[in-house]
Every structure is written in C-alpha cells, then in structure tokens.
Structure 1
Amino acid sequence: MVVVTELSVERTPIPGLLVVHMPVQRDDRGWFKENWQREKMVALGLPDFGPVQNNMSFNATRGATRGIHTEPWDKFVSVAVGRVFAAWVDMREGPTFGATYWTEIDEDTAVFVPRGVGNSYQSLVDGTVYSYLVNDHYVEGRTYPALHLADPTVAIPWPIPLDSPDVEISEKDHENPLLDEVEPMSAKKVLITGANGQLGRELARAFPDADLVDVDELDLTDPAALAAWPWRDYRLILNAAAYTAVDAAETPEGRPLAWAVNAHAPAALARIATEHHLTLVHYSTDYVYDGDPTHATDAGHTEDEPLAPLGVYAQTKAAGDIAVTTTPRHYILRTSWVVGDGHNFVRTMARLAHDGIDPVVVADQIGRLTFTDELARATHHLTTTDAPHGTYHLTNTGTPRSWADYARAVFTHLGHDPERITDTTTADYSAARPSTSPVAPRPLHSTLNLDKITATGYTGTDADTALATYLADLDSDVDTDVDHRPQPVDV
C-alpha cells in the first residue's frame, strides 16, 4: 500500500473530474482523515462547490455494483469503510461526451465529480460504505440520465465481471440505456435580465445561448416570480436590469421604483445566487461616488474608494452594490456614460447635428464614454478567465473628457461645425430647469481607474476610437421639426 503523506489533487481526462489523495493518520485503533477540508482543497484547485447534503451507501457484500448515474449536481465521493473500483463517464454535451476514467478508492482517495459526469462503482470487499457529499438536495421522483454498466463503447474493465454470480446489480440499473441512446446533459445556462435595454441587447450578442428576460418575463421585484423561476438550470446571471431615470428618481413616484429595481432586486438575486451556487454579474455606476476629485487618485476613482452617493438614483445603486457583495461569486462592473443600441448622448448629439440644432452642453463633468460592446466584452472576459470575484471599474480607455468635448467630437466626425456647441456648467444647467422638474445632483468627476481589470489581462478600447466606429455605423433618425435655437442637453 502506498502511504499518502501530503494532500494533493490529480487531474483526469474528464474535464473537472479531480482525484484527491489524502493523508491518513493510522494507529492501533484504526485511522483518521480530513475527508473534506474546504480551505486546503480549494487552495489545491477543487471548486468551492458548497455541499448541502451527505449521502451514504452501504454495500453488504463484495461485488455490489451501482451506476452509471448522472445527477445535475456536483459531488465529492469517498469511501468511509472498505474499498471500491469506481468509474466515471462524461455525459455532458460537447466534445468529451463518452470520455471515461476509473480508479480504486479506499480511505486515502476521494474524487470530485462535476455535474453531468456519470458516477459508478463496484465494492471490492464486504461491508463497504460509499459516501456522496453533494451541493443540491435530492428530490424524490426526479429522473436523470443513466448509462448501462456494460456499455461496450465505454468498456469499463470491472474487476469482478458483471456476469459473475458475485455481482449484484439493481433491476433499475439493468434497464439503463446504451451510450448511443443517451441524451447528453445540457450545460447550465446564462440568464440576462433587462434584456431589452442597451446593455442587455449587447450582452445577448456576446452570450448568444443565454436566456433573455425583461420585466414581462421575470419581474425582479416580485418575490413570487423569483421563487418560481428554475434557478437550478443556470450557472450565471447577468443583471442588466436597472432604473436609470436619474431625475425621475427624485420624485415621489420614481423614488420607490428606483429602490425596488436598483437595490431590492439585486439583493434578492444575491440571495438566489448564494442558494444555488450561481455567479452574479451586476452593473453599477460612477454615481455611487460624489465626484469630488480630492477623493480619487489622479487616474480616477478606485474600487476601494468609499461610496458617497449624492442623489436617490445614486443611493439606490450604491445599496445594490453592497447587496451584491454578500454573495461569494459576484462581479460588479462599475461604469460611466454608457452608449449603446438605444437612446443615449451620442445619438442625441448626432440627431441635433443633423437637424441643425445648436446644443448647450455641460462642460464641467469629466469622465469617459463606455460603449456597451466594451461592457459585454469585459463581462465575457471576467466570467471565462477565472478572474477573482469582486468589483471592477470598466469604461473605454483614453483621455477623460467633458460631455461638451464629446459633443464636439460627434459633430466633427459627422462633418458639422463643433463651434455650434455652447458650454455650460452643471450649476447653470440645473438652474435653468423648470422648478417643477427635479434635477438630481451629478458627480463632476466621473473618471474611473481601470488598473484592477487591466491586471486580469483585459485590454480596453480607446473611447475616441470606439466613438468613431460607433458613428460610422450610426443611422441617425431624421427630425423634421427643427428648432435652431441653442438647446440644453440632459446628461
């Protein structure tokens, strides 16, 4: 017998199937081992899979054979007493469907079995106890894919032949299908909320197999709707739903809706993500900061800067950020000045330029544009590269500019005179608004520091380059009711 002196993890030909070799302390009384040690095992590469149930299978005699069963959850299998020959078959759709691996398991070996990999074993001694640590609760009556123990394609070399009188197999396992009759287990899905918004539409292009929902399909503020949703079918939530009417959030009608969508809904999704072991991506805003340049570095606001929201919209977004951090597997992408497929500042400037309208634009708010394809690309990067969970700032790169600077850039790109634009200050813009129309406070300094996401290997696109590309593809709407007076622009 090989004595294991150090905890180690061995990879196998089946992706995600990991063999754990565990040191066992032996003396005259028997032995002791740490069968599941989360901190040590996760550090060696095991997923932090969050087990919720432990099942034991007692096998009275040598030759008891079980499987090949494929459940939709992860499991950590080991032997409490005895020894088994264990075998696994990849039953997941994809290029490794049908891949196999087998080994013997006794007290110093355990195996992490990912969702969708068929599990089976044969007891090699009497009185064997086989243990399953799983991360979902067993539900009576649910059926899952299974494979015949004697399938010739996978050709598992059972040490005790299956036709031996010493082998005992359940009637149910005798009826399991062969591999060419098995429907592969589909991968867990991605859910995009707020799918009809600018960002949601872009995320749908970046994640083409995702399920897309808006408020009509799934109301994130409705506890009953959330409770009824089949969360076990998903692995990733991209929460692009948000209440973004910054000024309307200051009204009696808008305030509760902003809190419901921007704060309570992310809190509910965070609880769901924790319960179902999902990754939650949430999108935030520079408005969570007060915009005081003295509170930021020269390169902009950093992720660890204290939140200091000024208005109702900002406060609800800050509350949503805090709620999302309570679930272990989260990414918060904090961004600014979003431009995509829908109503936005760049489209407004393009229309005004086309229509001959000379706008008055705020010139003392400084930041960078963020195009939705940049946000979608960063989302894909973080969720597919095992980047550390947490909060990341994400905008397009380049020199920070004012809204008025960007307005002039739009006019110039479209062949119009940028001198048609008149600068104003945030204070003067707010003072010019009707007293009956509330104006939310805006942060003057919106530049976000991008060092943290860059350190993950992400390379951003310059905002000026992205703006030129966007304008080249833009088909401006024509407004025939032209007002040639200078027009203040709401940013």
Structure 2
Amino acid sequence: MAATFGKQLSVTSTNIPGLVVFDLPVHGDSRGWFKENWQREKMSALGLPDFGPVQNNVSFNDAVGTTRGIHAEPWDKWVSVATGRIFGAWVDLREGPSFGEVFTTELDPSRAIFVPRGVGNSYQTLEPDTAYTYLVNDHWSPRAEYSFLNLADETSAINWPIPLADAEISVKDLAHPRLRDVTPIPPRKILVVGASGQLGLALQQEFAGLSHVEYATRTDLDLNAPDIDGARRWRDYGVIINAAAHTAVDTAETPDGRRAAWAANVTGVAALSRIATANGLTLVHVSSDYVFDGAIDRPYREDDPVCPLGVYGQTKAAGDALVSTVPRHYIVRTSWVIGEGKNFVRTMAALADRGVDPRVVDDQVGRLTFTGDIAAGIRHLIESDAPHGVYNLTGSGEPMSWAEVARRVFDLTGHDSARVTGVSTDDYFAAATAPVAPRPRRSVLDLSKLEATGFRTTPAADSLATLLGV
C-alpha cells in the first residue's frame, strides 16, 4: 500500500468551508496494518463536528480509472480508503459565497476527509482493487434531495489524472449538468413552532425573506400527535425554534389549565427534544423567569437552581430539564414579554386614554422584554454558533415594577402618571374568585452571559417609547 506508517493524527483545512482533511496514524508490521478509521473523541477534539454517523458504506472498484460523482447529498460524510488509492475532487454546491469552489487531493489508507452536506463528492481510482468507504449521518431515503455536477464541467476544470475519455464512468454521471445549471443546495431548514403567537410573529419578521425558514402553528404540527416523529423528514432541518407554550399562568392553576400546561410545556417539549436528539438538530426553547421563586436580591444567573412557585413555572422548569438533555440546545430564558396584540403596555395606554385610574402591582420587579429582541437574540445565537446552553434574554436597563412601567406609559402618552396607584400583589388579588398563580417578586435576569457572545438587547425604556410611537 502507499500509505505512510506512523503519522500523527492531524487535521488540515481546505478552501471549502467545513471540508477538512485528516492524516491518520497507521500501524503496520509483517502481518499487515491497523488504524482507527474514525474515533469520535479524538477527532472531535481536533474540531471535527460530532456528526453522528448512522450508516457505513463501501464502494469496491476493480480497475484503475473508475470515476464516480460529482454528487452532493443532504448529509455529512466521512470518506476514507481501506485499500488502494484515489484522486478525490470536491466542489461546493451550497448556496453562498463559496459556491463552485474546488478542492482536490489524493487519499490512501492514511488520509481521510470530512465532507459537509451540500459539497459535491467524486473520485477516480489510481490503483486496482480500491475499497472506498464512507460514514454518513442519515439513512438513504427516496425523499432526499440531491444535487449533481458534470465531471467535465469547464468552470470547475478538475485536472483528472486519468483523462475522462479513458475512464470508466456511468451513463448517469456523464449526463449531469454544468455548474451554470446547478441549483445550489440551500442550508438546512429552520422550523419555527408556535408561529402564530407573539414570539412566532416576531420570528417571522426577523427571518423574513429567508426561504429555508418554515413556520408551523398547532394546526400544522401537533406536538402531542402520536406520529410526530414521522411528520416530517427531520434530517432536512438544522434547527427547531420552539415558540409554542401555554402561558396563561392563572388558568394553569385550574384542573383543565393544568392539563393543558403540562401537555404544551412538557409533553410537547419532550417530543421536540426526542426529535432533535435523534436527528442531530439544534433545539431552541424559550423559557421563563417563572422557573424561579423571586426570593434572591440580585439578578438571576443561568446556573441558579430553579424553584418554581406555581404550575406554569413547574411546567416550564420541567421543559427546560428535557431540553437540557439535547446535545445541541439553547434555552432562552426571558421575562415580562411584550409583543403584537394585547399586552400590558397597550392595556395601560388604553386606560390612560379612557380616563381610568388603574391600581397596579408595585412589589414585582423585573425588566420588560420585547419579542423583537428575543427573535434577534435567537437568530444571533444560531448564526454565531454560540456555545450551547442556557441564556438569559430580557430587555436591558434599570429594572422596574409593574406600577413604574404603568406610570411611564402614562407619561409617554401625555397623561398624569400620578393617576397610577401602586398596590401589593396580595392586595391586588385579594378579591379574586378564580385561582391565582403565585408570582416571583424579583424577576431580574443577569444578561452578562448573552452579552459575552456579542449580543446586547435594547434598553426596555427605549423599546417602550418605540412601541408607543414617541
């Protein structure tokens, strides 16, 4: 064999993003040789994505000059040679600035290459009896969408060591299109679940114009359906953003509400967590300050232990625990959400205009969070490839009580803020006849972890003024 014995395991980048070549240690003696063809722990430490292979294929080639490709499949590949030697050629067929980039090299048993989804893969055998092997992270499916490029494409201008006229090539490969006629492969799809809610609408605005982002309401995708695992070809997706939740905190304290809250916030989240884990997806899940009891006198950090007071908070904490088991996850913890439709700010503005002098709770302190900030923060985490985990995401600036927010609304709309009377939570709900959920008294979340990734939210006071048009 032509492989070199005794190499150190090492990795070399190429001009195609994500396409990397590995030198593999091969140990030999008079009996033959041995190598670790793929070793998850060692190769991940060198930067190889933990791509989760599910299938191992071998292509045996009798003669020199056997030429296959150029095929771009919707999965990642780990390509190596068991016996013999090949000349490999790879062409980036993905949407983006690197579309059409070409990389070529030789592979023998001491070299391997990681081929990301959407990069066209081809090779030509340089020795007889060559065994070409590859691991892939999806099972073959007739529903999978491929892209192809002609081996003789003039733009790519691959310098095949054996002229194509003298090579063994299939009829199908000879008929593939030139680069100018290739449809670029789009990125893996993003699915927004809960697309009709306040946050879902903000996410639609944030990702407007991106064809690879899809949106699903409960009508489109029932997370509690028994066939959820087969509802879509999940391997075509890269990210699921879960913007769906049962957020009626007081209703959750009733028997029917409790069942609905657990179904949406736990059972549905369990299904998404299972799907994301099984298919190697990133799961983005929106959490709440209600997972805390509000008893500490400092901003809550991401690693503070949860201690929910009511049913809603308990279901959100349970959902967070499920999502935390997904290898690729972002739990985005927020508070006091303001978005499209009816919300506290619009209610206060309407009361001010109608001459109503409201009584507003003054012993709950936190920060307003506008859905535009949440949507932008989620996009930032995904696109910046921030470390997975929990992130607090609220509006920035000085915390306020609900009564202070109401007074600011009155001021900004030209009304006398003294018309707002502050009351305690206990007094406000003293006459309530329906169940009332316990509220955390301090909901201030520490934003330093999110800010360390390069994202800063808008001061809540500025967003408030923008919403009111002043």
TM-score bracket for this pair, using the shorter chain length: over 0.9
Contact 2:92 2:99 in 1 (8 A): yes
Shift of 1:28: 2.9
Tell me the alpha carbon deviations over residues 413-462 of structure 1, each in whole angstroms, 9 at most, x when there is no partner. Answer: 1111111011111111221212xx11011111111111211222222322
1:240 to 240, 243, 246: 243
Q: Hey, what's the Cα distance between the residues in 2 that align with 1:173 and 1:142?
A: 18
Mapping for residues 126-205 of structure 1, pairs under 5 Å: 126-139=128-141, 144-164=146-166, 167-205=167-205
SS, match of residue 253 in structure 1: helix
Q: Hey, what's the Cα distance between the residues in 2 that align with 1:6 and 1:278?
A: 32
Tell me the alpha carbon deviations over residues 239-283 of structure 1, each in whole angstroms, 9 at most, x when there is no partner. Answer: 101111111111122111111111111111111111221111100
Indicate yes or no: 2:459 matched with 1:456.
no
Amino acid at match of 1:278: L
Tell me the alpha carbon deviations over residues 53-99 of structure 1, each in whole angstroms, 9 at most, x when there is no partner. Answer: 11111111211111111111010101111110000111223332222
**Which segment drifts farther, 128-137 or 155-164?**
155-164
TM-score (norm 1): 0.91
Mapping for residues 429-444 of structure 1, pairs under 5 Å: 429-434=428-433, 437-444=434-441
Percent identity, aligned pairs only, is 58
Tell me the alpha carbon deviations over residues 155-182 of structure 1, each in whole angstroms, 9 at most, x when there is no partner. Answer: 2111111112xx2222322232322332
SS, match of residue 163 in structure 1: helix
Contact 1:4 1:21 in 2 (8 A): no
Mapping for residues 48-447 of structure 1, pairs under 5 Å: 48-139=50-141, 144-164=146-166, 167-208=167-208, 209=210, 210-293=213-296, 298=298, 300-434=299-433, 437-447=434-444
**Which segment drifts farther, 5-14 or 358-367?**
5-14
RMSD of equivalent CA atoms? 1.7
Q: Hey, what's the Cα distance between the residues in 2 that align with 1:330 and 1:216?
A: 25
Shift of 1:350: 0.9
Amino acid at match of 2:368: L
Shift of 1:4: 6.4
SS, match of residue 49 in structure 1: coil
Amino acid at match of 1:220: L
Q: 1:141 to 1:65 in 2, by over 3 A?
A: farther
Aligned to 1:467: 464
Q: Hey, what's the Cα distance between the residues in 2 that align with 1:328 and 1:141?
A: 26
Q: Hey, what's the Cα distance between the residues in 1 that align with 2:360 and 2:142?
A: 63
Contact 2:397 2:461 in 1 (8 A): yes
Amino acid at match of 2:44: V
Amino acid at match of 1:183: T
Q: Hey, what's the Cα distance between the residues in 2 that align with 1:152 and 1:457?
A: 43
Q: Hey, what's the Cα distance between the residues in 2 that align with 1:224 and 1:5?
A: 49
Amino acid at match of 1:137: H
Contact 1:49 1:135 in 2 (8 A): yes
Contact 2:5 2:28 in 1 (8 A): no
Q: Hey, what's the Cα distance between the residues in 2 that align with 1:193 and 1:98?
A: 34
SS, match of residue 176 in structure 1: coil
Q: Hey, what's the Cα distance between the residues in 2 that align with 1:175 and 1:418?
A: 75
Q: Hey, what's the Cα distance between the residues in 2 that align with 1:16 and 1:120?
A: 17
Q: Hey, what's the Cα distance between the residues in 2 that align with 1:143 and 1:336?
A: 41
Structure 1 runs, 4 residues or longer, greater than 6 Å off: 1-4
Q: Hey, what's the Cα distance between the residues in 1 that align with 2:454 and 2:67?
A: 48
**Which segment drifts farther, 28-37 or 123-132?**
28-37
Q: Hey, what's the Cα distance between the residues in 2 that align with 1:406 and 1:6?
A: 62
Contact 1:368 1:447 in 2 (8 A): yes
Q: Hey, what's the Cα distance between the residues in 2 that align with 1:379 and 1:4?
A: 46
Q: Hey, what's the Cα distance between the residues in 2 that align with 1:108 and 1:460?
A: 49
**Which segment drifts farther, 458-467 or 353-362?**
458-467
Amino acid at match of 2:363: D
Q: Hey, what's the Cα distance between the residues in 2 that align with 1:357 and 1:370?
A: 25
Amino acid at match of 1:94: G
Shift of 1:302: 1.4
Shift of 1:143: 6.1
| Gap regions ≥5 residues in structure 1 | 474-491
Q: 1:142 to 1:252 in 2, by over 3 A?
A: closer
| Gap regions ≥5 residues in structure 2 | none
TM-score (norm 2): 0.95
Contact 1:302 1:448 in 2 (8 A): yes
Q: Hey, what's the Cα distance between the residues in 1 that align with 2:17 and 2:271?
A: 32
Contact 1:220 1:226 in 2 (8 A): no
Contact 1:198 1:372 in 2 (8 A): yes
Shift of 1:6: 2.7
Shift of 1:187: 2.0
Contact 2:228 2:271 in 1 (8 A): no
Q: 1:206 to 1:142 in 2, by over 3 A?
A: closer
Shift of 1:43: 2.3
Q: Hey, what's the Cα distance between the residues in 2 that align with 1:83 and 1:442?
A: 67
Contact 2:100 2:156 in 1 (8 A): yes
Amino acid at match of 1:341: E
Contact 1:218 1:226 in 2 (8 A): no
